[in-house]
Structure 1
Amino acid sequence: MITITLLVFLLQLIPGLGVTNALQYAGAYSIPAFGSFEPWRMITVSLVHSTSSPFHILFNMLFLWLMGRQVESLIGTGKFVALYLISTLGGSVAVLFLASPLQPVVGASGAIYGLLATFFVIARKSGGNTTGLVILIGINLVFSFVTASISWQAHVGGLITGGVVALILVQTPRRSQRNQQIALLAAVVGVLIVLTALRSVLTF
């Protein structure tokens, strides 16, 4: 994920290539009435970051490297990728419902918050001390709400979705529960798709 995201960021820096505009997300891309129905941007948004400040991608990739490696080692690569993508989708659904449909957003923060939620759920399940993690999540959420340029909607959506995915993973750890796990994860994706479809026909 880090390598792909960094490569995309380098492409973003090339003038005239239009990578940011092609991959960023806004609610309008999920609402046909706005004339440009491109729902895949709900996932591709995680690949692009702000080019006006290097701190956006640096902080996200730092979190992904520090937290992502640990989560991946605990749940496996396949489940990690699923978690990352579903959390991204959840963040975009929150943006769709809670932000202006014309406000573009970029970044992997929805996925990062999904990883934070997963690490919290796993730590709680194993009886670990989660105080520091709760403080970290709380500080970041507060910063999200008070900083105008940050999409708090994507952060909250990714956090909630990642938490739900994590609960499914820790409750179905055995190989014999694999089909149940897949069905539950598919149900989460299904709910997110239904919510997206509902918002696409609502006018508020």
Structure 2
Amino acid sequence: MEDQAVCCYRHPDRETGVRCVRCERPICPDCMVSASVGFQCPECVSTGSGTGQSPRANTPRTVAGGAVTADPRLVTKALLGVNLAVFIAVYFVGDSLTDALTLIGKAYDPNLPGEVGVANGQWYRLLTSMFAHQEIWHIGFNMLSLWWLGPPLEAALGRARFLALFLVAGLGGNALAYLLSPQNMGTLGASGAIFGMLGATAVLMRRLNYDMRPVIALLALNLLFTFTFAGISWQAHLGGLVVGTVVAYGMVHAPRDKRALVQWGTCALMLLVIAAVVIVRTVQLNG
């Protein structure tokens, strides 16, 4: 006979393997408040149960130490809005805007004197290409993935950490694409950041002792598509996945007394690696 699923006492539709260390009620990521040992539920925190501290001293925190917010989808909505706004702008302006935003190493532009690309000093392309899409199926798939993966991650990490994860993973994917793709091949889309979110989801589920099979199956399916279909930048997907996984691991496993140092230090370390990759490729293309 199978064990009955345990669900959060505040969200009966959400299975969980974590309980409040004080009252032992089951709690999901949205209800977890980081304590000196384990996690507490919002009720125990609000009353300062057994701590001798005021409620203010027990400000609700996410599993990664971020502030618990009323709308755990705000950053996800903002990222969706930026991507959609850029897509609409590209639709009306045309290829000239796409060409200006796309990640490209170094290529001759017949409409401009000389060459364009990251190796030509256009560093912004490493960031702008994360928000540019040309085909409706491309932005549709990426935005559905963002809407599905984003809110749980944002609720568990907090707004600032979730945004940092998205951006650093996207930059990591673009850096690897810049390093390994042909210099005149264009790359665009949020796929690198999305793969980083997939890796982060796996790390978070492992941290909370959730069933890993669904996310492993989803990741395997996406990797299968990445390496079997033409026209997909496997470099961006793989780079985003690795960087997102590393950043998420640093965020959810950081010790409480050194949480900020470890979390932001991990992000800084990944940015240094990304910068080194970009510099190496730039020297190579300009050599």
User: What is the CA distance between 1:131 and its match in structure 2?
Assistant: 1.1
For residues 176 and 187 of structure 1, the distance between their equivalents in structure 2, rounded to whole angstroms, comes to 16
For residues 55 and 128 of structure 1, the distance between their equivalents in structure 2, rounded to whole angstroms, comes to 31
Q: Which runs of 4+ in 1 moved over 4 A?
A: none
After TM superposition, the structure 1 = structure 2 runs for residues 88-127 of structure 1, keeping only pairs within 5 Å, are 88-127=170-209
User: What is the CA distance between 1:3 and its match in structure 2?
Assistant: 0.5
Match of 1:154 in 2: 236
User: What is the CA distance between 1:173 and its match in structure 2?
Assistant: 5.7
Match of 1:27 in 2: 105
Match of 1:18 in 2: 96
Greater displacement, 181-190 / 86-95: 181-190
What TM-score do you get using the length of structure 2 for normalisation?
Answer: 0.66
- Identify which of structures 1 and 2 has the higher relative contact order when contacts are C-alpha pairs closer than 8 Å and 6+ apart: 1
CA contact (8 A) 1:116 1:159 kept: yes
For residues 258 and 234 of structure 2, the distance between their equivalents in structure 1, rounded to whole angstroms, comes to 38
Note if 1:193 corresponds to 2:275.
Answer: yes
For residues 244 and 199 of structure 2, the distance between their equivalents in structure 1, rounded to whole angstroms, comes to 6
Residue 132 of structure 2 is aligned with which of 48, 64, 86? 48
TM-superposition CA deviations, 1:56-108 (whole Å, max 9, x none): 10110001011011110110110111001100111011101221111001100
Match of 1:5 in 2: 83
Residue identity opposite 1:3 in structure 2: G
User: What is the CA distance between 1:198 and its match in structure 2?
Assistant: 1.4
Residue 71 of structure 1 is aligned with which of 153, 171, 176? 153
CA contact (8 A) 2:250 2:262 kept: no
TM-superposition CA deviations, 1:11-53 (whole Å, max 9, x none): 000145732111110222232xxxx321121111111112xx3
Residue identity opposite 1:126 in structure 2: L
Query: What is the CA RMSD across the aligned residues, in angstroms?
Result: 1.7
Unaligned segments of structure 1, at least 5 residues: none
TM-superposition CA deviations, 1:168-201 (whole Å, max 9, x none): 1012163642123222211111111012111211
Match of 2:17 in 1: none
| SS of corresponding position for 1:202 | helix
Match of 2:68 in 1: none
Unaligned segments of structure 2, at least 5 residues: 1-78, 107-116
Residue identity opposite 1:81 in structure 2: L
CA contact (8 A) 1:11 1:17 kept: no
For residues 114 and 19 of structure 1, the distance between their equivalents in structure 2, rounded to whole angstroms, comes to 26
CA contact (8 A) 2:176 2:277 kept: no
CA contact (8 A) 2:103 2:178 kept: no
CA distance 1:138–1:17, change in 2 (3 Å):
closer
For residues 89 and 155 of structure 1, the distance between their equivalents in structure 2, rounded to whole angstroms, comes to 11
Rg larger for = 2
Match of 2:29 in 1: none
Note if 1:58 corresponds to 2:146.
Answer: no
What TM-score do you get using the length of structure 1 for normalisation?
Answer: 0.91
For residues 30 and 17 of structure 1, the distance between their equivalents in structure 2, rounded to whole angstroms, comes to 18
Note if 1:82 corresponds to 2:164.
Answer: yes
Instruction: Report how many residues are paired.
Output: 198
